[in-house]
A and B are shown apart, each in its own frame.
Chain A
């Protein structure tokens, strides 16, 4: 019940295209859904996050879509750039009690 599922495992997108990564969860007590971005040799860093009282949050080219009834959320990267090539992790948290990460998606944006 604590698991967060993430797909796809890897993703290749052309420059300027849209990258979409999906996550699903089971625990309805989760109240915070962040996305982390990790470059090789670095620690993950927060990219964007959403709480379940809204269905969408946009920051620049990055958008989280959240579907509470389906227990799913997704990351959309518009106008993908080679500099976006990284591993992306979705996560879910339960009021600070249990921060759970998905297995990660390796994104490659081709020039």
Chain B
């Protein structure tokens, strides 16, 4: 099935460092979403973006909806150990009564205290 191109696949960083990951698609979306998944749990929504060019923050997290509507990035500032997990981007074209998500393959983040 279709999956978005997400990079990097994994990151090993020191506590306090900033993190950046991005996601690209061959097709456009009207919504970009970023999720975090921890072991044994389902994905949890971090940030949702609805407009091309939109820049949205949620605490130490900042995400942007690319102008072309085919890409998005997520930044995490001043990482802490609880940021560990797998981060997924997802694109969505909603309308009417449907709107399935297309996910990236994920970025696995490890934070060294």
Is this pair of chains taken from one and the same complex? no
